[in-house]
Chains A and B, each alone.
Chain A
Amino acid sequence: MRLLRIFVQHLPGIQQPFELDEIGAGLSVIHGPNGIGKSSLSRAIGDLFWGEATPRTAVEAELVCDADGQEWRIERDGAWYCWRRGGVERNPPDLPPVHLRGCFFLGLRALLDASDASGRDLAVEIRRQMAGGYDPETLAREIGKNARREHGKKERAALNAADTQIRRAEGKQAELAQRQAHLESLVSDAEAAELARRRLPHFDEALELVARREELAPILLQLEASAPALERVTGQELNQVDALEARRADRLASIDKAEALLRSARKRATAVGLAEPVDPALLRECRKRVDNLRELERLRDEGRIARQAAREKLAVASEQLGSRAEPAAELALPQASRLFAFLRKAEQNRSGIAALEQRIQLLSGLAVNPRPAHEVDLQREGASALSAWLRAPDPTADHLRPTLWPSRRWLLLVAASMGLVGAFLGAQVDVGFYTLSAVAVGLAVAGLLTRLREAATDGTARRQAERDFPAGLESPSAWSVAEVRERLNELQNVVARADAAEQRSRDRDVDRAALMVELTDAKTKAAELEGTRRELARALGLVSIPADAELVDLARAVDELRLARLEDAAAEARLRELDRQFTDCCESLPSELTVLGRGRPQDAASARSASETLEERDRNLRVAENEIRELNERIDALRKEAETLARRAAELYSQLDLEVGERSSLVQLLERREPYRELCSKRAELLTKVTVAEEALARAGEADLREWERVTLESEREALEALASQANPIREQIAEIRAEVRGAEQAHGVEDAIAKRQEALLALAERRDEALQAKAGAFLLHRVIAEHESVQVPAVFERARSLFGNFTHQSYRLRVPADGEAAFVALEATSGRGLHLEELSDGTRAQLILAVRLAFAEEAERGERLPVVLDEALAHADPARFDAIARSLARMVADGERQVIYLTSAPSDLERFRLAFEAEGCTSLHEIDLAAVRGKASIAKGPGELVVRKMPQVPSPTGKSPEEYGLLIGATALDPRRDAEGQHLFHLLSDDLPLLASLLGRGIKTVGQWLVLTKNDPQIAEAIEGQRETVRALTARAELLGRFLAAWRQGRGRPVDRDVIERSDAISKGYRDVVLEVNRELGGDGEKLIGALLERSDERFKGFLEKKARAFEATLREEGYIDARDILSEEDIVAHLAGAPAARLVSSDAFRYFVHGWWELALH
């Protein structure tokens, strides 16, 4: 349907009728100033088409149009209107529904409507067409929730915390390891410190030594300056000299006295009369002989007395023997012995005979009267019968009853043994033991009786025994076992006693017979002794044979007489011998005893006197001589002593370097002695201390210190003291390190942290898998949606997307959200972001709505194509986009598909359309000056309104290098931080500059625009570039660039921006500006920024908490500002890209050229 002309009678705001009768078939640009009625005209046309829908509109107009070669006239007057064809009112042709009216009549207001409601009706319609009862968009969004950035954040935070914990624990362990490594050094230091501590006292001693030496030095100088003699002065010299002089005077006086005594002694010696002292041996001999003489004299007196006593004793013995006949001869000793031996034997024999006779008489007195034999035999017979009775078996008793009666063999054995023992003991010890033999016989009998008992097992034996019991004996009171046994015992006792008495009688007879034999022998011996007696009497010359007692007395008297005679003779002989010895002794006295005119001593007393006199004279002489000698010696000694004393006094002077006798000098010297001694004492004391100190140092192994000077010692001591003061801290440090090492070895701090990290890592892996699953699910659903769109997408939407892509130079891609929450969404080519209408600029929004309306206009037409009326529709389009839209309209018009009426108040728009139409080779452009039509000339306000800015021309690449051409076209540098979509197309086509120029000429400047174009309108893309392969190769390059940039960013982290700093809770307001400032200085390097925060080396970060820095670090890591992954090398990236499917669509030369080029550009 094409408008031919329109007559306006009346419209709201237009009272004057006018007619447009030259409306072209193509684009008619109706221009006129604002208020001329353009919008009214536009509304009027719509009201004419859909009159029934606008009954209350006050329109009075008539419109003539051509449809299918037939002219139609639409008349309207207020609510009345009709369609006529050939003058006849007819039903209107099939028009789009009235709600799509906006698709054909687009005003500036509608295009500028930023509300989301704009276009919602169309979006709803599109969705309605696409819907199939499913809501994959919602499902994809639901599923995709797990792929959001927040997913895994908690686990990553836990992982980061575990990492931090591990790092801290590692840090502590590393620190501990370092400290442990220093243990040896510390131990060495401790030992050194300890050594220093031990050496310190030695240094004190050394310093003390130095002090003593310093103290000693002046003393030594003073002493050296003193008189040498002072060294020898004792202080007693004066007293000594005086004492020596006094003693010497005393000695001289003593000499005088001694010489007087000497003279007196010499006189006494002379008076003694001995020329010389008597030999002491002679004196001893004299004394000895005098003593012998005196002893002989005493012995002689005793001999005389003894001789007198012997003579008296002889007289007594003679007198005692006087009554008896004096033996003819003196009894010789053998004879006396025989006499006495005879007397002993005779006495013994006589005593033996008396004893034998007494024993025989005793045995005869003990004879007993045994019982009559027949009586005993009778009792023995009775006992035998009773025994037989008892041995006989008891006919009333069970013969099988065990019996206590011993076996016969045993009885016989015991009886034999007892018999033998009894016989032996009876013969050897006592006859009483024969009883034992008797008992043995009884047992033997009993044993034999057992034979009988065994033989008779019935009562016959007992009855026989009763019959055998002697009648003369009292039988048992009853013939029972008890009574029989009792009676048997009585009889056996009686028999035993009778047997014993008989045995004893036999034994005494034997004894008496033996004694009688002994008595006979003794009497025989007495007869033999009587012969001996007579023989002795004869030998003694006795007439009669005296009795033994007399014989004994005689023998004794004879013996005493003999002894008396012997004693008398001996006493006489001794006296004579003593007399002779006395005489000899007198004669042997020395001659010296006879001097002085005395005769030889005749007795002991005179001899003794002479001897004593001689001894006294000798003694006097000796005393006098001794005195003389002693006095001489004393005088000599005194003289020597006096000389010695004089010499000693001289020596004293000499020792003190004084002349002998210089007493005053000595006094002076002594006066100086005390100070000197004090100095010496002090010196000695100091020397002792020095020596002690030196020895102590030597013992301590510090002998060298003795030679050190004070300065050196003090300096070294100070150093040692400082070192020693470190001993305790070092030891504590060592103990602390060792304790920490033990603690670290026993603890599992890092292991626990690793375990936590592993748990967090597993959880993070699960979250990642969930996210990937979610993303994969969303991917599949989006793919389904896209495919569904491609299959099920309405043509209207496809057309709208194509138009919008063209209008925006492929900077956007149109989307219709499935959830119905928004009308349309424009996907930004460079970023992929979806922008709602209110987010778009006025121009882009107008273009979007225009594209959608135009598309719907085409769709909504039902047979007839209605003209499109655009009222100021491009008022906000920039020249480029105006051109794009104008050219789209030109193509629409050129195809003869549709009539377009464009209403504008800008006269320059006509020129823009003209240029666009020329570019598209379309000539169907008409101009209608509405002001002129309505009689109101449109006058331009200024030259500017008539000037049309020319479209920028794309420079020709001919003769240009890629770099030169890039500069010429203003290509932006490759920014590796941005995605491929935002990069200039130059970076994909620097090897094909003509193609680049061609695309630039169509407004395709960025990679994103190209990619949108290929998606919005593949056919157009191919048409532009001529062949399909070129399109695919260029798209592949774009994909490779995208992969390259992603790989390049790995490990590099994106620059820290203001946004993340301001968002982070870890950066307080107080530090925010500082952090922003440092971040700028560091070029947005996240790792450096965190390092600066942690180290706090920058004064501006003083006080910033490590905890906050760690938290901020975690945020940066999570959001990719710090990328822990390794940075890939160019080779890594090449290897990575080579595996991509897109690489197969790019020649190897181009691949190498671009990838290396991108690498270089990215580095710059």
Chain B
Amino acid sequence: MPGINGGTTGEQWGNMVAGGTLAGRGVRLLAIGDVHLGTRPSRIPAILGDQVAGGLESLTPAAALKLTVDLALEEAVDAVLFAGDVVESANARFEALPALESSVRRLVEAGIPVLGVAGNHDVEALPRLADMIAGFKLLGRGGRWESSLLPPSGEPAVEIVGWSFPDQRVTVSPIRALLDAPLISAAPRVPRIGLLHGDLDASGGSYAPFSRRELEDAGLDAWLLGHIHIPSLTSGMMPHGYLGSLVGLDPSETGAHGPWMVHVDGSGKIVPDQLPLAPLRWERFDLEVAEDQDPEDLADRLGEEAERFAAKLVEDGSKHRVLGLRIRLVGSTRSAQALRDSVAREPWRNILRSVSGTVVFIDKVQDQLEVAADLQALAKGQDPPGLLARTLLTLEVPGEGRRELLGAAREALGDLARDPRWSPVSEMRGATDPLSDDALVTCLRQSGMRALQQLLDQRSQDPSAEEKHP
């Protein structure tokens, strides 16, 4: 058995599963992605605290972790795996530790082994905590690949191969080291699952970038990844992907969140299954605005659509307590400005709705209304609207024109995008390069549409405009 890091002795490790009969019947592993204990979801309206049992505390990562541990105990899983960023580094010692320690202790006392790897957030905290909490086994300490068999004693059923961040920033692929010096399997013919925190398919950066190709070359049977908060774990020949955050920490983390039950059957087949336990769910959807949409009725319509959306989720089996929505207004309307004014007043703010036990609130309404005009027709003109419409059409067609336009835009926006005042934004979870092609296209299209509408509005306000530009 590999050496034990942290505060768990080999004897303790063996005792955890004493009497277990994992071999021959496969195992069930409960895999948990980024928990970020010590934080709480953002953009939660304060009034929600009075509407949800347990208050806002019931929506935190700590509450989600407790639900997950309850499930692990109830299901008597064979092990619990953490894919890094279990805690925020800032307050791990005093504010995150109690919740983690309590969870691990409950699991250990129930004889469930607990393994994890350190991520960029808890590169300092997690090893320290692992030393403090008996029963928590940190894999790959110091950036050295390490494996562990499950169950720790008896006939092995699965091997977990893990790597932990040695420093807060890692600019090289950690899998490269594994490819250069592969870990000899401690138990041949036992399925091997990789547990890694890092940036999949990133071209660079400081968060252990690695490629899908490297994952494939490593020869493991599955990869459970941490770092990106949007779950993306897939099934197939080599299941791999992100476990996602345990609970959506901000409106960008949409979709179902929760731990994953990873079934490893006797033949070595690995099947992940997400368990959407997160008490809070974020979603966004587009609301097509009719051409004759009355701005006065916008708030009511938003509420109705929100309820309809929530009901659909509940009908599909989602069991969240709270649903936060971001709604994009799309389509073209004659009263775009009035709608924008209505959106700016945020009439839905602090209004909660309840749908089948789910408390629903609208976090934000985004305006992505289109110009109420034919771009193609406009683009035929040589006047500023025509030129702008032509530019916008250029964006939609890949080619040299779009490349040149994006290059110029990147040049023009570069200083602003790189302005130090925004520097913390680039460090946000899930932050993307605002100067990437996709981001630029979106940005240019939205701003261009708005500018085009305003240009046209200039003419509509000029009584002589019709004569000049029929």
Contact = CB atoms under 8 A, between A and B. Distances in A.
Interface in A1101-1133: 1117-1120, 1122-1126
A750 B387 contact: no
A139 B416 contact: no
A1122 B420 CA distance: 8
A762 B42 contact: yes
A1123 B411 CA distance: 20
A1120 B91 contact: no
A745 B388 contact: no
B244 to A, nearest CB: 18
A136 B455 contact: yes
Contacts of B1: none
B424 A764 contact: yes
Most buried by B among A779, A780, A782, A1126: A780
Nearest to A152: B421
B275 interface: no
Given A745-B95, A755-B39, A784-B384, A143 B420 contact: no
B93 interface: yes
Contact of B443 (A755, A776, A783): A776
Interface string B373-412: 0000000001111011001100000000001110111011
A780 B388 contact: yes
Contacts of A755: 39-40, 42
B338 interface: no
B391 A780 contact: yes
Contact of B204 (A173, A749, A1050, A1135): A1135
Given A759-B43, A772-B416, A133 B465 contact: yes
Given A139-B458, A751-B40, A1120 B388 contact: no
A1125 B420 contact: yes
Contacts of B382: 788, 791-792
Contact of A132 (B405, B416, B419, B468): B468
B448 A751 contact: no
Interface string B418-458: 11111111101000001000001001101110110011001
Contacts of B422: 152, 764-765, 768, 771
Contacts of B38: 750-751, 754
B341 interface: no
Contacts of B43: 759, 762
Contact of B424 (A142, A772, A1124): A1124
Contact of A133 (B42, B387, B469): B469
A1120 B415 CA distance: 12
A1046 interface: yes
A176 B408 contact: no
Interface in B89-127: 90-91, 93-95, 97-98
Given A133-B464, A139-B451, A741 B459 contact: no
Interface string A746-766: 011111001100110110110
Interface string A865-903: 000000000000000000000000000000000000000
Contact of B39 (A754, A1046, A1119): A754
Nearest to B37: A751
A149 B426 CA distance: 18
A1118 B419 CA distance: 9
A1057 to B, nearest CB: 16
B273 interface: no
B420 A1141 contact: no
Contacts of A1122: 420
Interface string B15-53: 000000000000000000000001110110000000000
Given A133-B464, A173-B94, A787-B387, A139 B39 contact: no
A1118 B421 contact: yes
Contacts of B468: 132-133
A693 to B, nearest CB: 50
Interface string A159-195: 1000100100110010011000000000000000000
A919 to B, nearest CB: 37
Contacts of B40: 751, 754-755
Contacts of A156: 421
Nearest to B467: A133
B170 interface: no
B88 interface: yes
A781 interface: yes
B423 A768 contact: no
A751 to B, nearest CB: 5
Contacts of B412: 775-776, 779, 782
B383 A777 contact: no
Interface residues of B, number: 67
B391 A783 contact: yes
Nearest to B456: A134
Contact of B434 (A140, A159, A768): A768
A745 B404 CA distance: 55
A791 B381 CA distance: 12
Contacts of A1124: 420, 423-424
Given A133-B383, A134-B458, A764-B424, A779 B413 contact: yes
Nearest to B381: A132
Contacts of A163: 424
A744 interface: yes
A1124 B412 CA distance: 22
Contacts of A1123: 420, 423
A159 B424 contact: yes
B76 interface: no
A173 B387 contact: no
Contacts of A142: 454
A139 B455 contact: yes
A785 interface: yes
A773 B423 contact: no
Contact of A758 (B42, B403, B416): B42
Contacts of B444: 776, 779-780
Most buried by A among B40, B423, B434, B465: B423
A97 B408 CA distance: 42
B384 A785 contact: yes
B421 A776 contact: no
Contacts of B219: none
Contacts of A1135: 204
Most buried by B among A135, A751, A785, A1117: A751
Nearest to B395: A780
A323 B440 CA distance: 180
Interface in A342-378: none
B4 interface: no
B214 interface: no
B462 interface: yes
Most buried by A among B90, B408, B455: B90
Nearest to A746: B98
Contacts of B385: 134
Given A135-B458, A758-B39, A780 B94 contact: no
A1141 B409 CA distance: 12
A136 to B, nearest CB: 5
A862 to B, nearest CB: 26
25 contacts: A132-B384, A133-B458, A139-B451, A139-B458, A143-B454, A152-B421, A166-B90, A169-B91, A744-B95, A749-B91, A750-B91, A755-B42, A759-B43, A768-B425, A772-B434, A772-B443, A776-B446, A779-B409, A782-B412, A1043-B414, A1117-B421, A1124-B424, A1125-B426, A1141-B404, A1141-B407
Task: Enumerate the 3 nearest inter-chain pairs by beta-carbon distance, A residue then B residue, closest first.
Answer: A750-B91, A777-B447, A744-B94
Interface of A: 132-136, 139-140, 142-143, 147, 149, 152-153, 156, 159, 163, 166, 169-170, 173, 176-177, 741, 744-745, 747-751, 754-755, 758-759, 761-762, 764-765, 768-769, 771-777, 779-785, 787-788, 791-792, 1039, 1043, 1046, 1050, 1053, 1117-1120, 1122-1126, 1135, 1141
Given A762-B43, A1124-B424, 12 more contacts: A132-B384, A139-B451, A744-B94, A747-B94, A762-B42, A764-B425, A779-B412, A780-B448, A783-B391, A783-B408, A784-B384, A1119-B421
